[in-house]
Amino acid sequence: MVDIPFPRSSQPGSQPGEGLGRLLNRYCEVDGEAVQWKLVPGLVAFADTSLQGPRGMIDVNGTLYEARAATALTVTAGGIATQLAGALPGTLPVTWAKNNKAPTPDVVCVTEIGAFSVSSSQVKAYPDTTLPQPNSVAMLDGFFLFTTGDGRIFASGVNDIFVNDADPTQNALSFTTADQSGGLVRGTVWAEQFFAWGQKACTVYTNAGTSPFPLSRTTIIPVGLASQSAITGFEPGWGLQQFFVATDNTVRRLDGYTATAISTKDVERAIASEIDKTKIETSCYVEGGRPTIVVQGSSFSWEFNAASGLWNERQSPNLSRWRCSRSVFFENKWLFGDTQTSRIVQVSAAAFDELGTSFTARLESGPVKQYPNRLRCMAAYFDFTSGQGTIGGTADSMNPSVSISSSLDGGGTWSTPVVRRDLGAQGEFNMMIRVNRMGGIASQHGIRFRVDSSSPVYSTFRGGRADVQLLGAP
């Protein structure tokens, strides 16, 4: 009897026989001596905006502001959405910022069209007519900070649109140039510093109280940002470092001023395959004590556990990627825009599906082999928590199942799945999942196992073992 090697990080490899296994909609959690593979959290509805196309959100003193296609709206803590008067042109991702003005802060949104002032009732053109077209906005110590594609950073007055209310033209003088950036992509604020992210480098600034431009340069980080949406971790409520996709197709964590690469080769291949880097998006959430970075392209989604350093893949039903976009921490909930509907959704570990639709959780093992010997699997055993079926509900939730298949060619092809309804109805805690004579005679590739489950119930996996018979070298 030998252990079946299931990966802690998803490593599918680029070709059959190369990878060490796959985690799709499951992640590995290590707690002391216990190693378990758990379901990713599901999704529940928070609000319905009646508008498609999520573009970005911000919490403004307990009211959620969201951009949708050509429109802005507010959402209450109770999930009531109200469309604002005036247009918020465009369909691409936006950046939001609010200052510290009391009792009502100024709120600014930057779209691909330009800058806009947003109140609780309407959207208007940004009043500073001297401002060139920006590509992002952030706020540090009451200053709105705008970046432009030619490398400049413009600052507003402190908790005011204008540097000098008596002379609005003074705003045109309140700027600096990040001269090594290669052109700025966006700005973020983290740990009381402003990060001006460029195509070639990131320039870091602190508030020096100088005039007319209030910031002074601290350092330069010689790594470029892949696209405007390719950075996360600056969001209020996250509490850890910033993470970003660099121009070299790596995912990096900003440790102080050091951009540490944390991506695997599989993740980097996925990013490199995205020709249009504006499609790369990163976001973050924390659920069940698991701080998670999400890296997505048009046809993939990877999750990074910022606590354990492990990766898993994520996929929504009938899609090649996760349906979520643009995270925000609001009313102690992590919310996302839903790309498939007009809803805002909440990440929830108590949900085992996505808005009522089951997703497939997949475990693929590495090879059981003793190269160059052939072998035969007499029986395979899979250690799941059982007895978690629901009382009432669908047949699949009351009597949950797993489907098990095998591959003899390194994961190139898989056998017809064997369905086992042995996860157990409610209270059936002694169920064991066993499959006899899986596959056939394995060659130098050995045998790999795939375990799928789409039953919408609690499901934890602890490993597998195989009874194999060695047959000698061919």
> Tens of pLDDT along 234-244?
999 999 999 99
DSSP 177-246: E-TTSSSEEEEEEETTEEEEEESS-EEEEEE---SSS-EEEEEEE---BSSTTSEES-STT--S--EEEB
Cβ-based neighbours of 191, under 8 Å, separated by 6 or more: none
Mean pLDDT score across all residues of the chain: 96
pLDDT recorded at residue 7: 98
Strand partners, 197: 186, 202
Closest of 411, 417, 423, 424 to residue 451, by C-alpha = 417
pLDDT recorded at residue 201: 98
pLDDT recorded at residue 374: 86
Q: Is the pLDDT of residue 472 over 80?
A: no
DSSP 198-209: ESS-EEEEEE--
Would you say residue 11 lies in a domain? yes
Region 397-412: what's the mean pLDDT?
94
Render the burial of 184-210: b for 16+ CB within 10 Å, e for the rest. bbbbbbbeebbbbbbbbbbbbbbbeee
Would you say residue 382 lies in a domain? yes
Would you say residue 468 lies in a domain? yes
Coil, strand or helix at 350? coil
Region 444-466: what's the mean pLDDT?
95
pLDDT recorded at residue 98: 98
Cβ-based neighbours of 249, under 8 Å, separated by 6 or more: 226, 268, 271, 272
Report the CATH number that the domain containing residue 436 is assigned in CATH.
Answer: 2.60.120
Q: What are phi and psi of 103, to 5 degrees?
A: -85, -10
Region 186-193: what's the mean pLDDT?
98
Question: How remote is the C-alpha of 66 from its chain's centroid?
Answer: 18
Dist CA 35 CA 262 (whole Å):
21
Would you say residue 221 lies in a domain? no
Would you say residue 25 lies in a domain? yes
Closest of 397, 414, 394 to residue 406, by C-alpha = 414
For the chain, what is the largest distance between any 2 Cα atoms, rounded to a whole number of angstroms? 89
Cβ atoms of 116 and 70 closer than 8 Å: no
Would you say residue 435 lies in a domain? yes
Dist CA 208 CA 111 (whole Å):
29
Cβ-based neighbours of 219, under 8 Å, separated by 6 or more: 203, 204, 257
Cβ atoms of 9 and 312 closer than 8 Å: yes
Would you say residue 420 lies in a domain? yes
pLDDT recorded at residue 137: 99
Beta-strand pair 402-407/418-420: antiparallel
Dist CA 134 CA 115 (whole Å):
7
Closest of 42, 5, 41, 39 to residue 24, by C-alpha = 39
pLDDT recorded at residue 445: 85
Q: Is the pLDDT of residue 125 over 90?
A: yes
Cβ atoms of 134 and 154 closer than 8 Å: yes
Q: Is the pLDDT of residue 59 over 90?
A: yes
pLDDT recorded at residue 306: 98
pLDDT recorded at residue 460: 96
Dist CA 169 CA 262 (whole Å):
45
Question: Among 77-86, 122-131, 209-218, 424-433, which stretch is predicted with the lowest mean pLDDT?
Answer: 424-433
Higher pLDDT, 420 or 382: 382
Q: Is the pLDDT of residue 166 over 90?
A: no
Dist CA 323 CA 427 (whole Å):
33
Region 42-69: what's the mean pLDDT?
98
- The pLDDT tens digits for 322-380 are 999 999 999 999 999 999 999 999 999 999 999 999 999 999 999 999 888 888 999 99
Closest of 264, 186, 201 to residue 231, by C-alpha = 186
Region 156-161: what's the mean pLDDT?
96
Closest of 394, 413, 397, 393 to residue 405, by C-alpha = 413
Length of the chain: 474
pLDDT recorded at residue 334: 99
- The pLDDT tens digits for 407-444 are 999 999 999 999 887 788 999 998 889 999 888 888 88
Strand partners, 22: 364
pLDDT recorded at residue 370: 87
Task: Tell me how many domains the chain contains.
Answer: 1
Domain range for 442 = 2-41+361-472
pLDDT recorded at residue 317: 97
Confidence band for 167, pLDDT divided at 50, 70 and 90: confident
Question: What amino acid occupies position 362?
Answer: R
pLDDT recorded at residue 354: 98
Dist CA 255 CA 237 (whole Å):
18
- Both tokens of 176, joined, read 């600096």
pLDDT recorded at residue 169: 84
- The pLDDT tens digits for 274-307 are 999 999 999 999 999 999 999 999 999 999 999 9
Render the burial of 247-273: b for 16+ CB within 10 Å, e for the rest. bebbbbbbeeeebeebbbebbbebbee
Confidence band for 168, pLDDT divided at 50, 70 and 90: confident
pLDDT recorded at residue 470: 84
Closest of 78, 91, 21 to residue 46, by C-alpha = 78
Would you say residue 34 lies in a domain? yes
Region 184-194: what's the mean pLDDT?
98
pLDDT recorded at residue 440: 84
Of all residues in the chain, the percent with pLDDT exceeding 70 is 100
